[in-house]
Amino acid sequence: MPQAKIIDGKQVAAKLHQALKEEVVALTKQGVTPGLATVRVGEDPASQVYVQMKEKACAMIGIMSRGIRPPADISQEDLIAQIEELNSDSNIHGILVQLPLPGHLNTPTVLQHVNPDKDVDGFHPLNLGKLLSAKYWEELPRFIPCTPAGVIKLIDSTGVEIAGKQAVVVGRSIIVGKPVAMLLLARQATVTICHSRTSDLGALTRTADILVAAVGVPQLIKGKMIKPGAVVIDVGVNRLEDGLVGDVDFNQAKEVAGYLTPVPGGVGPMTIIMLLTNTVRSAKAQLS
């Protein structure tokens, strides 16, 4: 059997990037410059890197970005007050609260105070509720969580039809696992969700025409756990001594899968481009 075709997330994102840039130019000519506020609480090194990447991506396509940098010891009330200011600012079309927040802050409560019409991360309960209630793709909310949306774009890039396929999602987080399962359902896949308490994980993953690994365990998915020819999307990013690895054992998986994302260079670039897509979508909604 030939080796898996590698799904190049950078390449897929680049195609979307050019189209988005043209949309931003058109909006600016109509007097609206899309604006994204990034709220990063404290000085967490990983969060610093992620936010810098997002702000750099904004600059590349003409989105105005505004960095809000509260100290790590900010009170919940003061943080919510800053978010409310952004909610009422007509120049800000998207609000991103970088996670994780410091332990003394209640993340669900903070996210609930982001205006759902500016919730470009798609984590407000209203948007998540709309995602859960959507039976068909056309019924989805304006804002879909960025990583799950990117996963679907990567699957589509292979040309493999999602409808009717067996899909297995390993991971049940509200950030990736649950939303991506809902998106696959909306595209008419039959979906199984697995997690840390699933017994005989391999027996389930071997049924998957489409396998999404998002559990945060380095190289958990071995080659023998993959159905030959499957589309395998590796969302995991795990830092080991010799570098970054995913939740899928890449070297084993490439001998079995039909399509496979690398780590890095797979899902990561898609997360950022979908954030920008949501911001532009919000600006267009304001214009209309």
The pLDDT value recorded for residue 1 is 66
Given this chain, do its domains 32-116 and 145-268 carry the same CATH topology? yes
Catalytic residues: 54, 98, 121
At 188-202, the pLDDT tens digits run 999 999 998 999 999
SS (H, E, C) the chain: CCCCEECCHHHHHHHHHHHHHHHHHHHHHCCCCCEEEEECCCCCHHHHHHHHHHHHHHHHHCCEEEEECCCCCCCHHHHHHHHHHHHCCCCCCEEEECCCCCCCCCHHHHHHCCCHHHCCCCCCHHHHHHHHHCCCHHHCCCCCCHHHHHHHHHHHHCCCCCCCCEEEEECCCCCCHHHHHHHHHHCCCEEEEECCCCCCHHHHHCCCCEEEECCCCCCCECHHHCCCCCEEEECCCEEECCEEECCECHHHHCCCCCEECCCCCCHHHHHHHHHHHHHHHHHHHHHC
- Domain borders along the chain are 32-116, 145-268
> What pTM, to 2 d.p., does this model score?
0.94
At residue 19 the predicted structure's pLDDT band, cuts being 50, 70 and 90, is very high
Q: The domain at 32-116 falls in which architecture?
A: 3-Layer(aba) Sandwich (3.40)
Q: What is the mean pLDDT of residues 80-85?
A: 98
pLDDT digits (tens, 9 = 90+) for 232-283: 999 999 988 888 899 999 999 999 999 999 999 999 999 999 999 999 999 9
Mean residue pLDDT of the chain comes to 95
State the CATH architecture for 145-268.
3-Layer(aba) Sandwich (3.40)
pLDDT tens profile 106-163: 999 999 999 999 999 999 999 999 999 999 999 999 999 999 999 999 999 999 999 9
